[in-house]
Amino acid sequence: MDILLQIKKKKKIHWIYFARILRDETFSNGFRIGIKALKKKLYMRLVLGKSMIYIIDYRKFYNFSKYLTKKNKWLTVDGPKFKT
């Protein structure tokens, strides 16, 4: 617990925050979820010169990602699963 000073009064507060476990398996990796979105045709691809621009509807991708991560919580990190 930390103490926060507010107008000469002390108030106890609790800090809750989330951080990844510092292991190689927990590095963020969005490629697998991106490939799944490409297969579902959520991305639009536009050719611009010699390169391409990908466009996706944020709300559709958010809902898609939420659905997939409920099924597999390790989808957005390198993995494999480990016991803590």
- Render pLDDT for 52-72 as a digit per residue (tens, 0 to 9): 999 999 999 999 999 999 998
Cβ atoms of residues 63 and 4 within 8 Å? no
- Which of 14-18, 27-31, 37-41, 47-51 shows the lowest mean pLDDT across its residues? 14-18
pTM exceeding 0.75: no
How many structural domains compose the chain?
1
C-beta neighbour count of 74 within 10 angstroms: 15
Supply the DSSP string of 6-55, one letter for each residue.
Answer: ETTEEEEE--------SSGGG-B--HHHHHHHHHTT-EEEEEETTEEEEE
Query: Does residue 79 sit within a domain?
Result: no
Residue with tokens 């944020």: 58
The closest alpha carbon to 26, from 81, 83, 84, belongs to 81
Query: Does residue 36 sit within a domain?
Result: yes
Query: Does residue 76 sit within a domain?
Result: no
Domain of residue 40, residue span: 2-58+67-71
Query: Does residue 33 sit within a domain?
Result: yes
Query: Does residue 77 sit within a domain?
Result: no
